[in-house]
Structure 1
Amino acid sequence: MTGSLLVSAAAAALASETAAHWSYQGKTDPTHWAEGNPENAACQSGRRQSPIALSESTAKRVASKDFSIQYEPGTVTLVNNGHTIQANVREANDTVNFKGQTYKLDQFHFHTPSEHTIDGKSYSMELHLVNKSNDGKITVVGIFIKEGKENQALESAFADLPARQTWTGRQAKVDITALIPNDKKALAYSGSLTTPPCSEMVNWIVLEQPIEMSKQQIAAFKAIFHDNHRPLQKLNHRDIDEE
């Protein structure tokens, strides 16, 4: 009896792990994220999903900016979570103010190729800076990355990216302020997380001016994650504001 219970428990644990697993390729790619896991239902049935195709020409112009970004240089912990390289932020002084509410930077991570497009253009990579408010709301700042000169702000982080999945990580100094382009003109809309559970009611601020990373830096990331982007989702009559 005890042996049967142990086998059943092991089978249940394996089933739970399999249901929770997701990826960007094969039988667990984005088209299957909602299968076998009710928590990921929004990935399939959501009406305000991200990423989307952005267009400056059709965006609604906003008279005054609804956001401000206040980041500082600091130390982050780099981890490979099996889906991306994520930098967990330790300092509490990095904030985004959006429509009168303050959001603290929690982590930032990367996708290749870019998840959003702008006026039909895709970029080599996209940086997502995930900011959370005290009441659990999320505002993500998205930044396009194109091939160019070496990004000095990410030099310490990209010098030795964790190639295997691990949550222990290593520390690196990153000038987060320098990751923000000089031109902060942005396209803002209401969307979702681009990974399971694809939760909606996420504020997106996608800056139009890309930043640069060297060919070697981009290659270092692609050597670990060849393709970790979610395909474009339907706009479903959402408004896009140009801030």
Structure 2
Amino acid sequence: MMRKTTFVAGLSFLIMGYGAYSGEHWSYHGKTGPEHWGDLKPEFIMCKIGKNQSPVDINRIVEAELKELKISYRPGASYLVNNGHTIKVSYGKGSYLEVDGTKFELKQFHFHAPSEHKIKGKLYPFEAHFVHMDKNGNIAVIGVLFKEGRKNPVIEKLWKNISSKVGEKVKITDKINAYDLLPKKKRYYRYSGSLTTPPCSEGVRWFVMVEEMELSKEQIEKFRKLMGGDTNRPVQPLNARMVMKQD
């Protein structure tokens, strides 16, 4: 019982930090960039040797009779932090993704620019990841791709709270529901992958939305300027995996 409790607690720490693994120096560029992650620390070895890594280029697609995702979100964005790798929004209790007969609680969401996933070779300017965990520590992530277009009102509310000071938590005063950052149609691609930042742990259920969302060029550039450039891990080999698409 103690071993299981410790395991879940460790995963809880991991998921809350997903987007920036605390206490270890890694980056998206140079000698601490993605191609070197697996050599920075023994705990990061899966970034180097893993066979089911994320993100991927979604191009080996099988149409499948996948069930609709049961998404039950309510307003719960509590605070955001610029952790030096992304803008991470922590979420309060009570919002869930139900899949495979299991409830996964929404813990946080964060962003990447440009996108981490590609669709048949196409890279998007922006991507959001909604990170969930079940009671046993299993992780499920919803990915939403964004194209350049109209100003996104939810992103606008979040961006006004951004601090340029790395590590500073800013309380969100606006009532923000993460559901409003999801497309109306919830068709999705599904595959088994990993966290896209160190330690690149595998066994993550990935659900990437087929339909895109929009945000403005100014909103994209504000994020990129704050992050100092690209914040995406390059796509990883699919190897023996197939990507299922909800028909």
| TM-score (ref. length: structure 2) | 0.86
Q: Which runs of 5+ in 1 are unaligned?
A: 1-18
Deviations along 1:39-72, whole A, 9 cap, x unmatched? 00000000000000003xx422222415321112
Q: Which amino acid aligns with 1:169?
A: V
Partner of 2:212, secondary structure, is strand
Q: Which amino acid aligns with 2:231?
A: N
Q: CA deviation at 1:146?
A: 1.0
Say whether the 8 Å CA contact 1:24–1:30 is kept in structure 2. yes
1:47 to 51, 55, 60: 51
Partner of 2:123, secondary structure, is coil
Partner of 1:144, secondary structure, is strand
Taking the aligned partners of 1:227 and 1:172, their CA distance within structure 2 comes to: 29
Trace 1:196-235 onto structure 2 (pairs within 5 A). 196-225=198-227, 226-235=229-238
Aligned to 2:39: 35
Q: Which amino acid aligns with 1:121?
A: K
2:245 corresponds to 1:242: yes
Partner of 1:87, secondary structure, is strand
Aligned to 2:136: 135
Say whether the 8 Å CA contact 2:91–2:106 is kept in structure 1. yes
Deviations along 1:187-221, whole A, 9 cap, x unmatched? 00000000000000000000011111112211110
Q: Which runs of 5+ in 2 are unaligned?
A: 1-22
Aligned to 2:118: 117
Partner of 1:204, secondary structure, is strand
Taking the aligned partners of 2:243 and 2:163, their CA distance within structure 1 comes to: 36
Taking the aligned partners of 1:117 and 1:98, their CA distance within structure 2 comes to: 24
Q: CA deviation at 1:155?
A: 2.2
Give RMSD over aligned pairs. Answer: 1.5
Taking the aligned partners of 1:128 and 1:85, their CA distance within structure 2 comes to: 11
Say whether the 8 Å CA contact 1:154–1:175 is kept in structure 2. no
1:195 to 192, 197, 201: 197
Q: CA deviation at 1:167?
A: 4.3
Q: CA deviation at 1:119?
A: 1.6
Taking the aligned partners of 1:36 and 1:83, their CA distance within structure 2 comes to: 17
Trace 1:65-144 onto structure 2 (pairs within 5 A). 65=67, 67-90=69-92, 92-144=93-145
Deviations along 1:129-151, whole A, 9 cap, x unmatched? 00011110000000001111111
Taking the aligned partners of 1:140 and 1:157, their CA distance within structure 2 comes to: 20
Partner of 2:124, secondary structure, is coil
Moved more, 72-81 or 198-207: 72-81
Distance 1:53 1:166, change over 3 A: same
Say whether the 8 Å CA contact 1:103–1:138 is kept in structure 2. yes
Distance 1:233 1:172, change over 3 A: farther
Partner of 2:142, secondary structure, is strand
Taking the aligned partners of 1:172 and 1:123, their CA distance within structure 2 comes to: 30
Matched length:
222
Q: Which amino acid aligns with 1:67?
A: L
Aligned to 2:6: none
